[in-house]
Chain A
Amino acid sequence: MRIKEGFELRNICGENIVIGHGLENINFTKVISMNESAADIWNQLVGKEFTLDDMVRVLTDNYEVDEETARRDCEKLLKDWQEAAFLE
């Protein structure tokens, strides 16, 4: 999977906010924010093909977290991103 073209993560006054442009995202009207670790995952993986394992690795490489916890968090994050239609 990958993050769809046209979604961009921006830092706005210290908050990580996703904006969507492009014809394919014309119906995306939400404002979605992310915490630091989710933003790290986004920034590492945007523009690439990735798997759940890749998401988990960003967390275990950069944070003091065990793999099991990281995987649980990433499964939830992945579900959020799927619901927001960020992925293809």
Chain B
Amino acid sequence: MSYRVIFVEGGVNDERLIPSSTPFEESVTDEPVLFELTVDDTYRSQEWGEEVGQFDCGGNNHGVYLRKDGSYEIHITDFRGRQACLLDATADFSRGIVALNGNLEMRKFGLNNALMLMYAFSTADKDTLLMHASVVREKGRGYLFLGVSGTGKSTHTGNWLKYIPGTDLMNDDNPVVRFIDGEGIVFGSPWSGKTPCYRNIEAPIGAFVQLKQAPYNKIRRQTVIESFASLLPSCSVMKWDKRIYGGICTGVTHIMEHVPTYYLENLPDEAAVRLSHETITQ
């Protein structure tokens, strides 16, 4: 499940733009890869296609354009509204080309966002989900905490590290979840939001927990419908694209059949962590 990034010669870009990929680096082989992404700042779009929409992704904007042949052009803008990256990708996201723009920080941001999109959508039909979650590991199992930005995912997992001995952080924002041989497995990734936590590690998933802020602590199992409504919006998805959306829904279904999900209403305190730890690790 590896991918290949090619920096065209003579440009200003090189692997220093993606330092968080270093722990995942492999030597180059002839093995088929998920996708190949070429970084070429001189690339200019041939045809924009039809605007699908402008999508807010945690303060950043993705302008998505779909062409008649199914290929995509995606304009990635940072939180200051500066266009950092133009991504042109085939319909199956197996090949892409990016033109980066701006200073080093913008280029890093643009390329990593393009890689996340390529990864999420090239794996959509491979029981592989790029999720929005903070993940801790305890006694060899991974626990994923879900919720929209600002819910307190990192706060909650931070309190696990503080109060539950032997716990470590696997990823703080964008882990990869795969369904392999009847089991849900969580992996670290080169993307982790604001927390530098890029670890080439994996663990069987113990549970998912949907977080909700509340003036009290309370936890319960979710119903099937609630689980689906928690997991699906936590995955990177393009719902207008039948291959991608159908594939992600199938991946979510497989995971749900094998991993319990919980709903935790909580305060940002030690008692919340004790409650969730006792309940979900049993």
* Residues in chain A within 8 A of chain B (CB atoms): 6, 8, 10, 12-15, 17, 19-23, 25-26, 31, 33
Contact = CB atoms under 8 A, between A and B. Distances in A.
Nearest to B225: A33
B256 interface: yes
A4 to B, nearest CB: 13
Given A10-B249, A12-B256, A13-B257, A31 B240 contact: no
24 contacts: A6-B242, A8-B246, A10-B249, A12-B249, A13-B227, A13-B253, A13-B256, A13-B257, A14-B224, A15-B224, A15-B228, A17-B225, A19-B249, A21-B239, A21-B240, A22-B242, A23-B66, A25-B239, A26-B52, A26-B239, A31-B225, A31-B228, A31-B229, A31-B232
A16 to B, nearest CB: 10
Contacts of A6: 242
Nearest first, the 5 A-B pairs at minimum CB distance are: A21-B245, A15-B224, A31-B229, A23-B240, A13-B224
Contacts of A12: 224, 228, 249, 253, 256
Given A15-B224, A31-B229, A20 B239 contact: yes
B81 interface: no
A25 B240 CA distance: 7
A15 B239 CA distance: 21
B240 A26 contact: yes
B269 interface: no
A23 B225 contact: no
B56 interface: no
A14 B223 CA distance: 11
Interface in B203-240: 224-225, 227-229, 232, 239-240
B270 interface: no
A21 B224 CA distance: 20
B244 to A, nearest CB: 8
Interface string B236-272: 0001111001100100010011000000000000000
Nearest to B226: A31
B246 A21 contact: yes
Contacts of A21: 239-242, 245-246
B53 interface: yes
A25 B245 CA distance: 12
A12 B253 CA distance: 6
Nearest to B238: A21
A31 B246 CA distance: 15
A50 to B, nearest CB: 23
B53 A26 contact: yes
Residue with the greatest number of chain B CB neighbours at <10 A, chosen from A8, A10, A21:
A21
B226 to A, nearest CB: 9
Contacts of B246: 8, 21
Contact of A23 (B52, B224, B229): B52
